[in-house]
Structure 1
Amino acid sequence: MLSKLRIPIILMALSMTSTVHAVPTLQVGVPGGVGEGAYGDYQGSTFNPVEEDTAITNGNSLFVAGVYKPNTRFLGGQFSGGDNWSDFGYDSSFDTRGAVLLAAVPDGTLSAADASLTINGLGSFFRLPNLGSLFPNRHDPLKDDISDFLFYDIGDFAKNSGAVPNFADETGAADGEIKTLTIAGASGLDWIHFDVLALETRQQGGGRFRTSLANNPGSHDVTWNQGGGGLQQIPEPSVLALFGVGFLGLGFCRRYRLH
């Protein structure tokens, strides 16, 4: 009897573990709109700028989440004298910062954006016309010929029990923190694209720690634009299948009439 009970218990434990691990270490989202949940859907693709799998908004609120995995000791900036931002190739001005919100703005608008755009009332602490290799996942529009780049200090992430779901499907309950950020001064820009970076320090064997650079996946970012639009909907597979059946039916009808 005991052996029969073990299998469902083990499967349940594995299911719970996979759900928690499905929550990305870092993610950026927005409040959900009509017909959505608590978080806006990552959907379709945009043409202003070109980007796929992004949450689109013209509002002034962002959610930025950081997750503590089972062996994560600290998430944000430097931990207890360990590796700092400059150890990963960043300017020394990063070394006093926590997690960093990266705002990509249209190429050629760096000075104007830096003068107006604030996050939680604070301006950027660093800016660059070329990102180079400072963001590991160089998805559109994080390209030097498309964007200029501003960096904002958003502080370290706290470890709150079960506080963070996966914004994409709103499942899971990982330990960490969701920060609510307010965008201001964006109205003079055509668009802004938001990603997030942090230093993640994990516990190793023998009381040692290892720090690595973490960033959100390209499927968990946010694009702000003036109309909250620029959205090109990508049909669901079922819709595409219906179109295919329809065209196939037209083909049969045509062949039937010709014969």
Structure 2
Amino acid sequence: MKHKVLYTGIAALFAASSAWAVPVLQIGAPAPAGSGEGTYADYQGDTKNPTEKDTAITSGDKLYVGGVYGPNTLFLGGQFLGNGTYPTGPDWSQLTDDPVRPTAFDGHGAILVVSVPDGSLASALSSLQINNQFAFYSDADNSYFVNNHAPLGSSPSTISDFLFFDIGSFGNTGNVSDFVTESGSASGEIKELILSGFGTLAWIHFDVMALETDSQGQTRVKTSADGNPGSHDVTWKDGPPSQEIPEPGTLALLGLGLLGFGASRRYQKKK
């Protein structure tokens, strides 16, 4: 009996650690066919045009968004509507964290934050769709994300325009793994989103945020930047996915190898 209790305790600890290893919110893209990357595209350390760290690059029309329920999560998505034990939670604009969200966010579920190149807002609004739905709101200056996040650095108003799409709330009925390591298992839901209407956009960057209400009835904003070793986000680019730039040390070794090969060839010719 003692052994059974011990094994049960170990299993519970393992399950808890696995759950916590999976980010609350993350965005991924399908791995390119034949790439050997697994289910999800690899997250690249650094990308250019736009500049971003730890993002998956895709030129396809599909995204995956994962939402995870922690041990104390009651609801993940939009406003918690109460269940007889806990009262209705605050809506997006009623939260006092920084930045304060506009009232246009109220009544919506989890929100896909879409960054597009500065000056392209009008065309993106009239063409870009997620699951055949247009953006419900847009802003030329503010992403309403943590630190007003946008690709290309700290001046979003001169870099990006922003669109906001309602992707609904997350269920608590499936298994979600970490899209980066493709390991771990936590309870939640993975949503499949279909992109269309790219128009002439050179790039599109995707982040996600949601309202999480816990068992104490407290509501907070969660994002794909919370508790992640990488950003767990996605950048769409018009064209084949770019490759990672080799580390300087790798380039140096490659250069030495080529020099050695050249010297060997010259020596053989002299013989």
TM-score, reference length from structure 1: 0.83
Choose from 199, 203, 207 the match for 1:195. 207
Please give the per-residue CA displacement for 1:186-233, whole angstroms capped at 9, x wherever unaligned: 1410000000010000012xxxx0000000025200000101334443
1:18 positional shift: 1.8
Please give the per-residue CA displacement for 1:83-104, whole angstroms capped at 9, x wherever unaligned: 1101132121211100000110
Choose from 216, 221, 227 the match for 1:213. 221
1:108 positional shift: 0.7
1:14 match: 13
Higher strand share: 1
Distance 2:37 2:107 in 1: 38
2:42 match: 41
**Residues 115 and 151, structure 2, Cα contact 8 Å, conserved in 1:** no
Which blocks of at least 5 consecutive residues in structure 1 are unaligned? 251-259
In the alignment, is residue 156 of structure 1 matched against residue 164 of structure 2? no
Pairing of 1:237-248 with structure 2 (within 5 A) = 240=250, 243=253
Choose from 157, 170, 183 the match for 1:144. 157
1:32 match: 31
AA at the equivalent of 1:135 = F
AA at the equivalent of 1:82 = G
2:89 match: 82
Please give the per-residue CA displacement for 1:34-65, whole angstroms capped at 9, x wherever unaligned: 31111111123211101111100010000011
1:55 match: 56
Distance 1:106 1:39 in 2: 25
1:11 positional shift: 5.4
1:135 match: 145
Alpha-carbon RMSD across the aligned residues, in angstroms, is 2.8
1:172 match: 184
Distance 1:126 1:225 in 2: 23
AA at the equivalent of 1:144 = S
1:108 match: 119
1:92 match: 103
Percent identical: 45
1:2 positional shift: 5.5
2:22 match: 23
AA at the equivalent of 1:68 = Y
Distance 1:167 1:17 in 2: 18
Q: Secondary structure at the match of 1:180?
A: strand
AA at the equivalent of 1:121 = N
Distance 1:144 1:10 in 2: 51
AA at the equivalent of 1:164 = V
Distance 1:67 1:76 in 2: 10
Distance 2:152 2:54 in 1: 12
**Residues 19 and 172, structure 1, Cα contact 8 Å, conserved in 2:** yes
TM-score, reference length from structure 2: 0.80
Which blocks of at least 5 consecutive residues in structure 2 are unaligned? 82-87, 261-271
Distance 2:171 2:49 in 1: 34
Distance 1:152 1:47, change over 3 A: same
AA at the equivalent of 1:30 = A
**Residues 124 and 199, structure 2, Cα contact 8 Å, conserved in 1:** no
AA at the equivalent of 2:245 = Q
Count of paired positions: 240
